[in-house]
Amino acid sequence: MTSEQKYFHDRLILVLLTVSAFIAVLASLLILLKLDSNHSDVFIVQVRQNLGVGGFKAGHITGLLAFIPFAFLVLIINAILSFRIYRIHRQYAVTILGMLLLLEVLTLVVSNSLLVLR
């Protein structure tokens, strides 16, 4: 089998890609649903803990909608990178996809926490 066929038949690779894609879709749906329920034009887009009460930076909806293309862009770039690295070493590809999974979870957590603050 070629390395391309091995990549798509590797169960761990497929599980990591599937879970990452699911989290990216989940994050985008949660962002869209929470933005739809909010009727305000101003959102909290940054929180600075060291500034105390004045640490909340307000912004427009585009700051929060930027999380959606970010989640899918990171998914696509890391999937391509792991596909190309798989020929060199399998564990490097698994590590790249593991870091992708961590980044997708952090995207979900950060976007959700900013939307909860409103």
pTM comes to 0.83
Looking up tokens 């952090």, which residue turns up?
106
The interaxial angle of helices 67-85 and 90-117, nearest 10 deg, is 170
Per-domain residue ranges of the chain: 3-117
Res 93: pLDDT: 95
- Work out the mean pLDDT of the chain and round it to a whole number: 86
92: phi then psi, degrees, rounded to nearest 5: -65, -40
Helices (H) and strands (E) in the chain, counts: 5, 2
Res 37: pLDDT: 59
Residue 85 confidence (pLDDT) above 90: yes
Q: Per-residue confidence at 42, pLDDT binned at 50, 70, 90?
A: low
Q: What percent of the chain has pLDDT over 70?
A: 80
Single-letter amino acid, residue 53: V
Count CB-CB contacts under 10 A for residue 35. Answer: 15
